Amino acid sequence: MEYEEERLMQLVNSGKAWEEQVSCAEDGVCLRSVDFDQPEGSNKDNEATKTFMLRDFHFQADITGGAMDMFSAANAQFCFDVFREMSYDHTTENLFFSPLGLLSTLAVVLFGARGESASQIEKKYSDCMEQLYKVKPENLDFKSNIEDTRMQINSWIENKTKGEIKGLWSYDDIMYSDELVLINAVSFQGKWKHVFQKDQTKTMVFRLDESQSKPVQMMQLQGVFKLGSIQEAGVQVLEMPDVEGHLSLVIILPTENVSLGQVLREITYEKLKSWISPTNMADTAVDLHLPQLRLDGCQGDYTSILATLGMTDVLDPSVANLSGITVRGGLVVSRIIHTAILKVTEDDYVLSPANSAGQVKNLQVFQVDHPFLISVLQKDTEALLFYGVVSNP
CB atoms within 10 A of CB 21: 7
Q: Which of 78-92, 206-220, 221-235 has the lowest mean pLDDT?
A: 78-92
- Cβ atoms of residues 287 and 220 within 8 Å: yes
Q: How far is CA 221 from CA 239, 339, 358, in A?
A: 14, 29, 11
d(Cα 138, Cα 133) in Å, to the nearest integer? 14
Domains contained in the chain, CATH given: 198-295+344-390 (2.30.39.10)
**Rounded mean pLDDT, 6-17:** 32
Average pLDDT of the residues of the chain: 70
pLDDT (tens digit per residue) in 30-71: 333 333 333 344 443 333 332 232 222 333 333 344 555 666
Provide the pLDDT for residue 48.
32
* Whether the predicted pLDDT of 22 surpasses 50: no
* Whether the predicted pLDDT of 353 surpasses 70: no
- Cβ atoms of residues 7 and 102 within 8 Å: no
CB atoms within 10 A of CB 283: 9
